[in-house]
């Protein structure tokens, strides 16, 4: 056993990066100009552009053409049955100190001298591999820790609760939310009859529905999401004491979302918005970072709560069970090949290390079966040997054979016990995994614990804890979703469910979607709140623009020194500056001749090619170019849309007038299609939170705040 840890340590110290990156090096293939093309068998080939044929049908003997086409025919593997669309990155985790040792002997959590490599995959749940990033959905947040004691996976979401309590309901909830069976519609959306039919009849999902209809389900970026293990796990310390535990990831940048209007537009403008954002941030050095916190409950206190602590539709309010911060995770390396790493990474809730164990949470119990099982059909029985899935410590046992076995095991025995006593089990004293000893008694029957029957109090708690703006967004989201359900049985029933949570909410939705407006609340709202449920709670203490995307709008005739200064300031605050001009390529400053050799600066995009939705803020420098921008309908639209989405807008000199003219439109009127009596429902001038001015952007870029 000691050799296991020594080998893993050597791996860690053999690279300045981390042990996992070192282990992947042998599998990485460079493709360079000095290399020559071969077949899969290594045969050099001179021509892969023409089939071998004699001025007629292709010859069957052409093994080069056959190989090329056959390999292509088999490139696809089944996509994940859920969480099919995702993005991933490598990084590391480091414990802050040894304080977690009071609860666990898991070295990864309590040894600050260790740097544990991680691979993280973020995902959406409903849509297929080719769906858009910014849809309204839960986001997966799966972390694989390559520890010296083996792989540990926290397969979590960006929402701390789940739709169902018992794993046996998982196929039903997923069938209900996925595209309907008769027509494969809709893609990447829960806004359809079957989903709302199911959740209306399965009220244990009410709490989760509140989260999914909130801004949490349309994150601005993977980097700005919380992560949660969701299920209740256990920790075991060196003294053999057990604690129940929940895991939380808290992003350094705070928790931020898109507006629904932005999310809808970005889904069309740039369906890869989130995966590009992740790579862009890492490549520009703005490494995404999360703190890992745990909530712990001693074994003896399991039954001291109003709710069952093993019920995945419940949170443990922080007021009752505080967070302990144990370490931090940084993502600092993008993947080299998407398929090999992101598509083939395989997480299992059953992957734990000594000091971490399971609980009787009925959802977790089913998950422990399901993940291993799904990898068999996606990747085959030897999925653990795929480079991204390999542990960084040695693997040694008598599991053998199967498709795509990559190892050649030496020796004459493949069973235990064996006369040669090779490959012996490791003793607990050597650091091996062992299950916590516990009493199990009672009647086996199909049932749930009595406290699993209450479904509304935490749904209320969540709704009450949101800011008024967040509540408004949630109301609109419900109204959007239910108005996509054609069957009145479905939306009427869901309004009844909402009326168990909050009467005003139910009324709002009923009026909007045409249901029966309930007079009185079904249950009454207890009015309880918990601070950590609103996104505002996670605003960083120091406002930051780290990793944000800032557009600089230009036309020919700008002030060059000023633009260079603005760019420098933005980059110095670890944000990304993009010049948007009338065309991609050179845009020329005041006094420069158009097309002048060595003049101008490079525009990254042109005004038609990108939209304000893809940026967090925009700034317009001073100069003659403002007159040209004023005449550009697209530039004015950029400003109006950015203002409507409450983005920070900076303007210098003449550009202030442009901003004023663009956004102070007296009456931009929209007719409300759902209410013929309403003539004006919105105008840009009612949005008061956006601002413009010189000082914020130019004076000190690091003080700019974006929400």
The answer to whether residues 360 and 312 touch, using CB atoms and an 8 Å cutoff, is: no
* Smallest distance from ligand HDD to CB 573, Å: 32
Among 80, 178, 242, 611, binds ligand HDD (CB under 6 A): 80
CB closest to ligand HDD, residue no: 140
Contacts of 115 (CB under 8 A, 6+ apart): 12, 18, 92, 93, 94
Among 82, 208, 690, 704, binds ligand HDD (CB under 6 A): 82
Distances, alpha carbon 636 to alpha carbons 111, 259, 649, 683, in Å: 55, 20, 13, 15
Q: How far apart are CA 314 and CA 161, in angstroms?
A: 6
Nearest CB to ligand HDD, comparing residues 374 and 382: 374
**Site for ligand HDD, residues 367 to 396, rule: CB under 6 A:** 367, 370-371, 374
Helix (H) or strand (E) holding 509, with range, is helix 503-513
Among 8, 21, 65, 83, binds ligand HDD (CB under 6 A): 83
Q: Find the part of the chain contacting ligand HDD (CB under 6 A) among 155-163, 196-204, 432-440, 676-684.
A: 155-163
Q: Does 618 bind ligand HDD (CB under 6 A)?
A: no
Nearest CB to ligand HDD, comparing residues 168 and 428: 168
Q: Cis check for the bond before 417: say yes or no (omega within 30 of 0).
A: yes
Residue 231-270 contact track with ligand HDD, rule CB under 6 A, x = bound: x---------------------------------------
* Smallest distance from ligand HDD to CB 586, Å: 43
Sheet holding 549-553, edge to edge: 605-606, 576-581, 549-553, 617-620, 648-651
Q: How far apart are CA 706 and CA 685, in angstroms?
A: 20
Closest C-alpha to 463, from 539, 526, 519: 526
Nearest CB to ligand HDD, comparing residues 187 and 284: 187
**Site for ligand HDD, residues 648 to 687, rule: CB under 6 A:** none
* Smallest distance from ligand HDD to CB 161, Å: 8
Orientation of helix 633-644 relative to helix 655-663, angle to 10°: 70
Q: Does 599 bind ligand HDD (CB under 6 A)?
A: no
* Smallest distance from ligand HDD to CB 444, Å: 19
Q: Does 316 bind ligand HDD (CB under 6 A)?
A: no
Q: How far apart are CA 642 and CA 649, in angstroms?
A: 8
Q: Does 167 bind ligand HDD (CB under 6 A)?
A: yes
CA 259 to centroid of chain Cα atoms:
17
Q: Does 86 bind ligand HDD (CB under 6 A)?
A: yes
* Smallest distance from ligand HDD to CB 633, Å: 43
Closest C-alpha to 86, from 108, 119, 115: 119
Nearest CB to ligand HDD, comparing residues 206 and 635: 206
Encoding tokens for residue 574? 């670890």
* Smallest distance from ligand HDD to CB 338, Å: 13
**Site for ligand HDD, residues 111 to 140, rule: CB under 6 A:** 121, 123, 140
* Smallest distance from ligand HDD to CB 292, Å: 16
Q: Does 157 bind ligand HDD (CB under 6 A)?
A: yes
**Site for ligand HDD, residues 335 to 354, rule: CB under 6 A:** 345-347
* Smallest distance from ligand HDD to CB 229, Å: 7
Q: Does 273 bind ligand HDD (CB under 6 A)?
A: no
Q: Find the part of the chain contacting ligand HDD (CB under 6 A) among 78-86, 177-185, 613-621, 634-642.
A: 78-86
Encoding tokens for residue 682? 């919105």
Question: Helices (DSSP H) in 33-162: which residue ranges?
Answer: 63-73, 107-110
State the Cα angle at 235 between 230 and 239, rounded to 5°: 170
Closest C-alpha to 535, from 462, 476, 481: 462
Q: Is 334 helix (H, G, I), strand (E, B) or coil?
A: strand
Return the residue matching tokens 């303007």. 651
Binding stretches for ligand HDD (CB under 6 A): 80-83, 86, 121, 123, 140, 142, 155-157, 162, 167, 170, 230-231, 312, 345-347, 363, 366-367, 370-371, 374
């Amino acid at each position: 056993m000691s050799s296991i840890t020594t080998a893993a340590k050597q791996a860690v110290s053999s690279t300045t990066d981390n042990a996992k990156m070192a282990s992947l090096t042998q599998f990485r293939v460079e493709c360079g100009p000095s290399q020559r093309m071969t077949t899969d068998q290594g045969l050099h080939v001179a021509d892969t552009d023409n089939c071998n044929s004699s001025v007629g049908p292709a010859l069957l003997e052409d093994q080069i053409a056959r190989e090329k086409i056959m390999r292509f025919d088999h490139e696809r593997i089944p996509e994940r049955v859920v969480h099919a669309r995702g993005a991933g990155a490598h990084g590391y985790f480091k414990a802050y100190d040894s304080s977690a040792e009071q609860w666990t002997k898991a070295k990864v959590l309590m040894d600050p001298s260790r740097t544990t490599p991680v691979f993280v995959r973020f995902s959406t749940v409903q849509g297929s591999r080719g769906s858009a990033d910014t849809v309204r959905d839960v986001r997966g947040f799966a972390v694989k820790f390559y520890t010296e004691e083996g792989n540990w996976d926290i397969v979590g979401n960006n929402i701390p609760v789940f739709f169902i309590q018992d794993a046996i309901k998982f196929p039903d909830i997923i069938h209900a939310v996925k595209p309907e069976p008769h027509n494969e519609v809709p893609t990447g959306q829960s806004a359809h009859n079957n989903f709302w039919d199911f959740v209306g009849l399965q009220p244990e999902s009410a709490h989760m529905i509140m989260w999914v209809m909130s801004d949490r389900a349309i994150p601005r970026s993977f980097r700005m999401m919380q992560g949660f293990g969701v299920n209740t796990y256990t920790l075991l310390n060196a003294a053999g004491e057990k604690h129940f535990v929940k895991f939380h990831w808290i992003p350094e940048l705070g928790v931020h979302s898109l507006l629904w209007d932005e999310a809808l537009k970005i889904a069309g403008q740039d369906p890869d918005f989130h995966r590009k954002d992740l790579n862009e941030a890492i490549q520009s050095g703005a490494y995404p970072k999360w703190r890992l916190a745990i909530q712990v409950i001693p074994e003896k206190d399991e039954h001291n709560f109003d709710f069952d602590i093993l019920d995945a539709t419940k949170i443990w309010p922080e007021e009752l069970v505080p967070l302990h911060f144990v370490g931090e995770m940084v993502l600092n390396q993008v993947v080299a090949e998407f398929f090999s790493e992101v598509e083939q990474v395989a997480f299992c809730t059953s992957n734990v290390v000594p000091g971490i164990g399971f609980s009787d949470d009925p959802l977790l119990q089913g998950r422990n079966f399901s993940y291993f099982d799904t990898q068999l059909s996606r990747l085959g029985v030897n999925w653990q040997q795929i480079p991204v899935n390999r542990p960084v410590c040695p693997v040694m046992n008598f599991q053998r054979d199967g498709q795509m076995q990559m190892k050649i095991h030496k020796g004459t025995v493949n069973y235990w016990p064996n006369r040669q006593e090779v490959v012996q089990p490791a003793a607990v004293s050597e650091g091996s995994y062992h299950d916590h000893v516990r009493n199990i008694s009672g009647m086996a029957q199909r049932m749930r614990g009595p406290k699993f029957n209450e479904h509304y109090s935490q749904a209320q708690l969540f709704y009450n804890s949101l800011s008024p703006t967040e509540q408004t967004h949630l109301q609109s989201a419900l109204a959007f979703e239910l108005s996509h359900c054609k069957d009145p049985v479905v939306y009427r029933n869901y309004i009844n469910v909402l009326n168990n949570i909050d009467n005003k909410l139910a009324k709002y939705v009923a009026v909007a979607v045409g249901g029966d407006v309930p007079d009185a609340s079904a249950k009454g709202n207890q009015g309880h709140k918990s601070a950590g449920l609103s996104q505002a709670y996670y605003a960083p203490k120091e406002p930051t623009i780290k990793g944000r995307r800032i557009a600089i709008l230009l036309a020919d005739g700008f002030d060059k020194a000023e633009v260079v200064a603005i760019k420098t300031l933005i980059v110095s605050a670890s944000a990304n500056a993009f010049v948007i001009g009338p065309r991609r390529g050179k845009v020329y400053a005041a006094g420069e001749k158009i097309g002048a050799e060595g003049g101008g600066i490079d525009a990254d995009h042109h005004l038609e090619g990108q939209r304000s939705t893809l940026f967090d803020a925009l700034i317009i420098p001073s100069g003659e170019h403002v007159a040209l921008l004023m005449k550009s309908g697209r530039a004015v639209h950029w400003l109006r849309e950015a203002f409507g989405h409450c983005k920070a807008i900076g303007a210098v000199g003449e550009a202030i007038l442009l901003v004023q003219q663009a956004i102070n439109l007296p009456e931009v009127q929209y007719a409300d299609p759902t209410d013929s009596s309403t003539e004006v429902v919105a105008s840009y001038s009612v949005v008061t939170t956006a601002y413009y001015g010189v000082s914020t952007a130019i004076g000190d870029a690091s003080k700019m705040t974006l929400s």
